[in-house]
Structures are given as structure tokens and as C-alpha cells.
Chains A and B, each alone.
Chain A
């Protein structure tokens, strides 16, 4: 808890400081050439293709000598390929990265220093959620910048709540309210809630809500062994194994909880702001679903925050133009296009309003309100290694094969040994 408070304080201080700096007029960069330039832009979200293309086109309209080519790779293969390209020194000029993989690339000199991005854009640093921006800072250097951010909310199906005669969730709900409501909502055809083995939607929220941490602030120790973390794990496990108000792991791994929610098979899910666009496309959920802040745990409100980082290859031949493009993307223009199309929640403040308006059926403001309780996405220098352990142990937890205490202890042990060898 104290660590998070300290972190938040630091983050706020950073914002204040940088926003002072940003108020000075930014000097235009002189190194931009007017020769024809082609930038390669690698990303993984097929749902965002339309918006990404629009942004690329808008950039080209503004700077006709620069063409941006999109390169889509499915998420499942994205990082395999990214790593191959890095080894082959063939990284795209600008590419998406997530918090899990960011430090690996930053620590190994693969990414270009982006400097003070808000200042270069000509806006205030406080226009961006600090926790999301800090995810992409390594040793004090900004090696990537989020174009959007996401928090997690409690999505619920009004029709199923009405049918069961249960009052809609409010932002004051706690875990106990969820359990009680889920029990009322569960029938032979419907599950009260869909628990999913997913770090961002579940684990990284309930662990801090229980009072624990996933990883220590210096990223050297696992926090899974602590009592607070175990409370979070117990909450998840109980919903599935004790109260039986959630589909089993076997079911949720075959059919995503969002899909079950979309067909009225589960009444509540924890899911990110990134789910909005899909739930809005589905007629049934557009008419019946809504969202509210995540319920509080014993340690109060917490929600994990993440955003898709825009990184620049250190070996790009057009670093200056690449920077210009990232600034365009994360700045007012890029945010406007992402917001208007409802594609994703832009990191830049003014674009956020547009995103809310794009899907007025849902009370999306909940995702913005949660930013004050943000828990930064846990990561380290080689996070994919311990995340694999996490998945492995959570499987045992959710199938009921192991108690929360066993899982926490085992996971902490494995994770600590992985962290100890990191960067060696």
C-alpha cells in the first residue's frame, strides 16, 4: 500500500514538474528532411486497422513526403516476429509494444529515446495519465509513449439483473456485493460472473485490491506470497470453486468470458475499456450492457492501468520523422481519430471526451474516474518468463487443484528465482 502511495506521489510530482517545462514554447526540430520517406508501422490489433490507417493518411496529408505503411501481425505471433526482426535488424520504424515486453527492448538498446513527448507535441504532460506514461520510461528515459490507455471496469447485463430482481452495481460495491449478486443471478442457464485467467482483467486488479502487490517497486521481488495478494487470489478462486457462480476454467478458456457475456450467458464480467468497442458492435450488449467502476476489495479501490506503447527502433533510418509520427499519433490529431471512431480510449485528454461520446449507451466515464486508483501494470526486465509461471499457477488455482496459499507461495518462489536471473 505504502509503496503505491509513494509511487503515486512521485508520479504526481513528475507531472507537475514536466507540465511546468511544457509551458515553455517548444522549438521546432530542424533535422526533418523533405525527401520522400516511408515509415513502417507494426501493430497487432485488427480492430484498430481502420483508425490506424486514418491516422497514417492524415499524417501524409500534413506531410506529403512521408508515407506510413501499416504492418499487421496477429497478437499471438507479434512478439515472436518482433524479436526475429530485432535480431535481423529489421524492426519497423515505429511499432506497438506492451508493458510486458517493453523493458526487454529498452534495456537492450533496441529503442530510440523519445525525449519529452508532451512538450514536443506542444501540450501539457498532465494531459496524459501519468501511470500509463511511466510504464514506458526505463532508467528515467522515455523509450516509448502510450497512444491510448485502458483501465478495467465491471460490465453488467441489465436485462439479467432485472430478471433476477437484483439492483444494478454501483461504484460503491465491494467484493461481497459481487458475491451476493452473483449468487442471486446464477441459474441453470446463467452464471452470475465470468472469472477469467487473465492478468489484466482479473489478477492485477484483485491482488492490489486485496492489499498485495504483484511485484515489488524495484522489480526484484514477487509480491504473491503476501497476505494481501492471497486475499485477491482467494476471491477469484472462491467465485469459481466455492460459490460456483462462474463458469469453470475449462469453459472460459474455450469461450472467452466476453463472448459469453455477449450472448447473455454470464451477467457480469471484469473487462477493460478496450472491450467497449466490441460490446458496442454487438446489438444485444449495446442494448443491455453497462459498466461501472470495479468493486473495492479489503484494501479499497484499485485498477490496473495499461496502454499500448508507441516505440521507435533505435536503428531506424528516419528517427526524426518517426518521432514526429509518434507525436502526431499521441497528440490531439491522433487522439481525435481514435476517440471519434470509438476504437480505443486515447491517452490524450481532449480525445477522451470523443471516445465517451462515440458510445453513449455505456457509462464509460467509469474508466476515466478509475485513473486515480491506477495500479501500474506490473512488469520487469524479462516479464514474459514469470508471466508464464503466473499462468501456470493460476491454472491450478482456478481449477481448484491448489489452495490460494499454495499457489501464492509456489508462484512467489518461481518468480523470485526468475527475477534473480533477469538481465544476467
Chain B
């Protein structure tokens, strides 16, 4: 890439001080979460609170699995995330390419209407979606979980921005080669859009992982639930067993963090590029 970084002349140590402080603000809560997760409930709710656990209660982690079928929920969450992501990548990229590069009557209007879906608060469509799933006889199935969510106005918007920013000459060359619009999309543009797809993929996985309301309403059986729902289930009606909940939250988040750390560069690149072209 031809772009260069700006050279700020601020002394680096000043920048480091601010960034370290910022990172501390970001990470300290998680450290506190971890420390709480290995305390006994009595110790966690002691006044004044102890910073370092006097006794490390690792059983809080195994307790999570006793309270709810967390392993099953893991599997459900992974399946849900994979299918939802794959579906979105396919449908959003197709629509995004068409909106970005193909000229057809009504394009601007249809795109604007699609975009307006971005502004709809989720609570507004959940009931209708539920009725549709019910009508299809899909309640308590995996397809009920992912069907409405493989369509995304955000994903379409994001990838469209991406396609718009790609150089037009590659496409022209392919067209001169006799490629039809579908071939150009599938064979030429999709590979070029990989960073954008990775970005949308990651964001979709995160969204699927955190989704609470929809899985909660559409699936009634614990064996069909996702992690976010399981986490909500752990919060009792009255008192809160903080250590076990913190442990559960860490277990639920860990895989995402690991994936992020491994794929760090691509995630950042992808997300970065998606927003850069207005």
C-alpha cells in the first residue's frame, strides 16, 4: 500500500504513557473478572474486598457446567456462528457487488430501502420474525436461529463500501475478456474483497456469539440454547453468585479472544478497510 504513517513528533514516551494507561483501563476489568472468578462467594462479597484471592477456588469453573449444559451450548453457538456468518458472506457480498458495480433500474432506491433496515431497533421485528418461524414450524430448530440473521443490511452496506473502493480497471479487463457479471463477481471481485469478507465475518461471529434476545425467544429447550442465553440463565432471580458468573463469562468469551489473538492482523486489516472509504 502506498500510504505512509504520519510521523508525529510527540516524544514516543509520552504516547506510551497514554496508551499504557488506556490499555490498563481496557484490560483491568478483565483482570478483576478473573480474580473474582476464582474467589469463594463469601470472599468476593467481603467488605472491604480483597484484591488477591486468599484461596483459589477453581471449582467455580466446573460449577458452571453443573448448573447448565454449557458444553452443548458451546456447540450450538459455534454452529450458529458458522452458518450465520457463511450465509451473510454469501448473500451480502452478492448484493453488495450488485449495488456497487452493476447498473440496473431502481438501484439507488432499493439500496436506500435496504439501508433503512439498519435503523430498525431489533425489538421491533422480533415478534414478527417469531410468528414467521412459528408458521414454518421451525421453533426450536437451528434454522430458526440463523434464518433471519443471514440477511444483513449492515453487511451489505459494509461490503458495498468495500467494492466501491476497489479499482475499476481489473473489472474492465475481465469484462473485455468476456466475463459476465456473475463471473466477475465470483471469480474476480470476491477474491479481491477478502479483507472485507474477513472483517464482516469476524463482526458476524461476534454478533452471533453475543446475540441474546432472538435465541432466547425462538429456542425454548436448554439443549438448543446458545452461550449468551446460558449466561443470562445463570443470573439467579435474587442473589448473584458473582464468582460462578464471572467464570462462565470468561469461558464464554475465551474462544473469541483466542481467535482474535491468532487472526489479529487480518481482523484489524479487514475491519479497518471496511470503514475507510466513504
Taking beta carbons and an 8 Å cutoff, which residues of A are in contact with B? 40, 42, 44-47, 49, 69-77, 80-81, 84-85, 87-90, 92, 189, 255-256, 258-259, 262-263, 265, 275, 278, 282-284
The interface on chain B, measured as residues whose beta carbon lies within 8 A of the other chain's beta carbons, has a size of 26
- Would A71 and B237 count as touching, CB distance under 8 A? no
A92 to B216 alpha-carbon distance, docked (Å): 15
Decide yes or no: A42 and B236 within 8 Å by CB, A255-B45, A265-B47 being known contacts.
no
Chain A residues with CB under 8 A of B220: 40, 42, 71, 73, 81, 85, 90, 92
Chain B residues with CB under 8 A of A284: 42
Q: How many A-B residue pairs have CB under 8 A?
A: 78
Q: Is B239 an interface position by the 8 A CB rule? A: yes
Which stretch of B8-16, B96-104, B127-135, B145-153 is in the interface?
B127-135
Chain A residues with CB under 8 A of B95: none
Q: Is B235 an interface position by the 8 A CB rule? A: yes
- Point out which of A70, A77, A283 has the most chain B C-beta atoms below 10 A from its C-beta: A77
- Point out which of B41, B232, B235 has the most chain A C-beta atoms below 10 A from its C-beta: B41
Partner of B233, one of A72, A84, A92: A72
Chain A residues with CB under 8 A of B130: 84, 87-88
Decide yes or no: A263 and B239 within 8 Å by CB, A46-B67, A72-B222, A89-B134 being known contacts.
no
Decide yes or no: A81 and B236 within 8 Å by CB, A88-B131, A255-B45, A263-B45 being known contacts.
no
Decide yes or no: A46 and B217 within 8 Å by CB, A72-B222, A258-B239, A284-B42 being known contacts.
no
Q: Is B250 an interface position by the 8 A CB rule? A: no
Taking beta carbons and an 8 Å cutoff, which residues of B are in contact with A? 41-42, 45-47, 67-68, 127, 130-131, 134, 139, 216-217, 220-222, 232-240
State how many angstroms separate the Cβ of B259 from the closest Cβ of chain A: 28
- Would A81 and B217 count as touching, CB distance under 8 A? yes
State how many angstroms separate the Cβ of A295 from the closest Cβ of chain B: 22
State how many angstroms separate the Cβ of A101 from the closest Cβ of chain B: 15
Chain A residues with CB under 8 A of B127: 84, 87
State how many angstroms separate the Cβ of B169 from the closest Cβ of chain A: 53
- Would A73 and B237 count as touching, CB distance under 8 A? no
Decide yes or no: A76 and B235 within 8 Å by CB, A84-B217, A88-B131, A88-B134 being known contacts.
yes
State how many angstroms separate the Cβ of B139 from the closest Cβ of chain A: 6
Q: Which residue of A lies closest to B126 (CB)?
A: A84
A69 to B134 alpha-carbon distance, docked (Å): 20
Chain A residues with CB under 8 A of B68: 46, 72
Chain B residues with CB under 8 A of A69: 221
- Would B45 and A259 count as touching, CB distance under 8 A? yes
State how many angstroms separate the Cβ of B5 from the closest Cβ of chain A: 45
Chain B residues with CB under 8 A of A90: 134, 139, 220
State how many angstroms separate the Cβ of B50 from the closest Cβ of chain A: 13
State how many angstroms separate the Cβ of B177 from the closest Cβ of chain A: 53
Q: Which residue of A lies closest to B219 (CB)?
A: A71
- Would A46 and B45 count as touching, CB distance under 8 A? no
Decide yes or no: A262 and B238 within 8 Å by CB, A72-B233, A85-B220 being known contacts.
no
